[in-house]
Amino acid sequence: MPVNSGTEATAGTAAEAETDSEAPALGLLALFWVVFERDLRVGLRRWTDASNSALFFVLVVTLFPLALSPRAEVLRTIAPGVLWIAALLATLLSLHLLFRADLEDGTLEQLLTLPYPLGWMLLAKTSAHWIITGIPLVVMAPILAITYHLPANALGVLTFSLLLGTPTLSLLGSIGAALTAGLRGAGVLLAFIVAPLMLPVLILGARATDLALAGADPTGPLYLLSALLVLAVSLVPVVAAGAIRVSAD
């Protein structure tokens, strides 16, 4: 299987580097890059999986005008909320991809045995995951928002808020993905566990866009979004590492 060569390469590189000398030979940055690059490669190879969530994003955004009203005044008002909700749902849908491949081919167990900080490696994995699943959302959102008649300034804030917010969503989601990694049929449970954690991001992102739409200053919520991102980057990997250890038992 093509995936295995990636697995062996990473685990091999890391393990080799370790057995060559007494101490682990990969510096933190190099380690990050090794894990990140490999996850990116594997994820891109299986791009059809990742595209599911992007398509879902488009689908949800399409449903609202159909169910509510295609009138510009209505769409403009609901655009911030709808786009942010769609982004959140699409992220939820993509989370199972984070650990699935590794659990299947045993890489996860190997990662646990390596003498490197697990949280750091998980951060690398989640970053790769975000590049593959989150960035498409950030790119597509302004295009879809145009169909909602969102004016240019609000478009910019929407995109920027998503840029700040989707990594946080991926990080928070990684906790849920780690907790439910071994469980069968854990999709809805995962969403249920993780969604409350994501609420502040949703509220801030939608409100920032709303403020821009109303001509007011959106910097407050945007600052808070960045603060949450920083908080997530520093705290989540530790929690996710603990969670993965539980699941891998």
Q: Given the rule CB under 8 A, which residues bind other proteins?
A: 175, 179-180, 183, 186, 189, 192-193, 195-197, 199-200, 203-204, 207, 228, 235, 239, 242-243, 246-247, 249
* CB of 198 closer than 8 Å to CB of 172: yes
Q: In this structure, are residues 61 and 142 in contact, taking their beta carbons and an 8 Å threshold?
A: no
Least Å from the CB of residue 224 to other proteins = 8
Do residues 120 and 178 make contact, with C-beta atoms less than 8 angstroms apart?
no
Nearer of residues 132 and 198 to other proteins, judged by Cβ: 198
Closest to other proteins by CB, 87 or 179: 179
Closest distance of CB 38 from other proteins, Å? 26
State in angstroms the smallest separation of the CB of 229 from other proteins.
13
Choose between 134 and 205: whose C-beta lies nearer to other proteins: 205
Least Å distance, CB 98 to other proteins, is 16
DSSP letters, 127-173, are: HHHHHHHHHHHHHHHHHHHHHTT--HHHHHHHHHHHHHHHHHHHHHH
Query: Between residues 50 and 198, which has the closer beta carbon with respect to other proteins?
Result: 198
Say if CB 39 and CB 128 are below 8 A apart: yes
Q: How far apart are CA 84 and CA 209, in angstroms?
A: 10
Minimum distance, C-beta of residue 34 to other proteins, in the bound complex (Å): 27
Q: Which is nearer to other proteins, 145 or 228 (CB)?
A: 228
Smallest CA-to-CA distance from 36 within 159, 170, 127 is with 127
